[in-house]
Structure 1
Amino acid sequence: MALDLITLRDPRAAAAEAYRTLRTNIQFSSIERKLHTILVTSSVPDEDKSSALANLAVTFAQAEQRVIVLDCDLRRPSLHSLFGVSNERGLSQAMNQNSALPIVKTEIDGLQILPAGETPPSPADLLSSKRLDSVLRDLKQQADIVLIDAPPVLAASDAALLATKVDGVVLVTKAGKTRRDSAREAVALLQRVNAHIVGVILTNAKLERERYARY
């Protein structure tokens, strides 16, 4: 099944090049330490954060990096659909049952996914647990970069919780959708937990003003 991602479908497109630029910026944004775990979130729902993460993951894999994408949007998981894999088992079951992580290979060389799995009764409690710290340590041993999908910042506390566990955060905004005050509030909430915001992605921008990554 062909994956419907711009970085695969049309790698010469301006959007695909912008994702590659963002990848490079992330790789070299920290002189003191490598950014090993990156959280991708948005301010509100429907800002295309998951597809942005998927495209960014592809560019890392194309650069011969070992990539694992982790779906921590336990409320509305979608990464499994974007990569054409099952969500029958995933992070939630592995954490609740203390079992092996069901990491799945994708069609893309070097890119694996740990789906969300079934929605737990309290996603925030699961994501704030020490078990997730152990999961992240395991994933970092298996990958050069771990990209983590989180719920929107203003929709649930999950993103702020996760932001305290990662090396950097990328905030996704959508042209014609994201309100300026919502973006500012999301940034303020992330800063309140001392999140390291390393970039902003603007999706749905017109080509003449396409600027997906800004630092």
Structure 2
Amino acid sequence: MTLVTITDPRSPASEAYRALRTNLSFYSLDKPLRTLIVTSPAAGEGKSTTAANLAVTMAQSGRRTILVDCDLRRPTLHELFGLPMSPGLTNVVMEEGGELPLQQTAVDNLWLLSSGPKPPNPADMLGALRMEQIIAQLAERAEMVLFDAPPVMAASDATILGAKTDGVLLVVQAGKTRRDHSERARQVLEKAGVRIVGAALTNAPKDGSMGEYYG
């Protein structure tokens, strides 16, 4: 996984993340998105990379942004930003109070709340009342809070979180995501009353004209 929005901000890929940021802003004019889950139908479809790069572009636009690693089963965001895994989210859920252990990233306006130690019962932890309180605290501290959640088909975590936030962005990968998995993930989320704000396509074929324009 790479943060192309930092390593190559002028690339077509970085521009695609900025376009996604803009589309989300337009989508939420009537009901602003302050808390957004980023997930995928199955594993390995680029959800964590998408969440991280989207968070970077939001911070680069001047919005105070917090990125939260809610993939308590396979946390990776701390590695992407070169920060410690603990203390993090699970510490706050267990301690009932105290200051949020937000870590300043190398990107202005962007903070990370890493996962913390892996718990034995991630779904129960994310479904607790304490998690709702933490989400409210995060929303008070930032203009945008992005949550990286496990795949919908792999665990109930994303569905549980989606019901507590403003919406879910579903990440699908060109040439990999199965159509029936995407449909099943949509059905699971909608059945739980989760607001799906849209889908982001990763690993799409490069448009030659974009490469020419950006050099």
Name the TM-score, length of structure 2 as normaliser: 0.93
> 1:134 offset after TM fit, Å?
0.6
User: For residue 167 of structure 1, what is the amino acid of its counterpart?
Assistant: D
Distance across 2 between alignment mates of 1:44 and 1:4: 20
- Aligned counterpart in structure 2 of residue 42 of structure 1, from 40, 43, 59: 40
**Secondary structure, aligned partner of 2:200:** strand
Match of 1:208 in 2: 207
1:31-82 CA distances to partner (integer Å, 9 max, x unpaired)? 3221100100001111111011000001101100000001111011111111
User: For residue 105 of structure 2, what is the amino acid of its counterpart?
Assistant: T
What root-mean-square deviation, in Å, do the aligned CA atoms of Structure 1 and Structure 2 show? Answer: 1.7
Distance across 2 between alignment mates of 1:32 and 1:175: 31
* Greater mean deviation of Cα atoms: 69-78 or 23-32: 23-32
Structure 1 residues 87 and 28: alpha-carbon distance in aligned structure 2, compared to 1, 3 A threshold: same
Match of 2:114 in 1: 115
Structure 1 residue ranges without an equivalent (≥5): 211-215
Number of residues of Structure 1 aligned to a counterpart in Structure 2: 209
Residue correspondence of structure 1 range 147-166 to structure 2 within 5 A: 147-166=146-165
Distance across 2 between alignment mates of 1:203 and 1:157: 23
Distance across 2 between alignment mates of 1:122 and 1:137: 22
* Greater mean deviation of Cα atoms: 57-66 or 93-102: 93-102
Decide whether the 8 Å contact of 2:2 with 2:49 is kept in 1: no
Match of 1:70 in 2: 68
Match of 1:25 in 2: 23
Distance across 2 between alignment mates of 1:209 and 1:41: 29
Structure 1 residues 197 and 209: alpha-carbon distance in aligned structure 2, compared to 1, 3 A threshold: farther
Q: Which runs of 4+ in 1 moved over 4 A?
A: none
Distance across 2 between alignment mates of 1:147 and 1:140: 10
Match of 1:106 in 2: 105
> 1:100 offset after TM fit, Å?
2.5
Match of 2:90 in 1: 92
Match of 1:213 in 2: none
**Secondary structure, aligned partner of 1:207:** coil
> 1:209 offset after TM fit, Å?
8.5
Distance across 2 between alignment mates of 1:209 and 1:177: 22
Match of 1:139 in 2: 138
Distance across 2 between alignment mates of 1:17 and 1:192: 34
2:4 is the counterpart of 1:6? yes
Distance across 1 between alignment mates of 2:51 and 2:208: 21
Structure 2 residue ranges without an equivalent (≥5): 210-215
Distance across 1 between alignment mates of 2:8 and 2:86: 31
Distance across 2 between alignment mates of 1:44 and 1:109: 32
Structure 1 residues 102 and 182: alpha-carbon distance in aligned structure 2, compared to 1, 3 A threshold: same
Name the TM-score, length of structure 1 as normaliser: 0.93
> 1:138 offset after TM fit, Å?
0.6
Match of 1:175 in 2: 174
**Secondary structure, aligned partner of 2:186:** helix
> 1:89 offset after TM fit, Å?
1.4
Residue correspondence of structure 1 range 186-201 to structure 2 within 5 A: 186-201=185-200
> 1:4 offset after TM fit, Å?
3.6
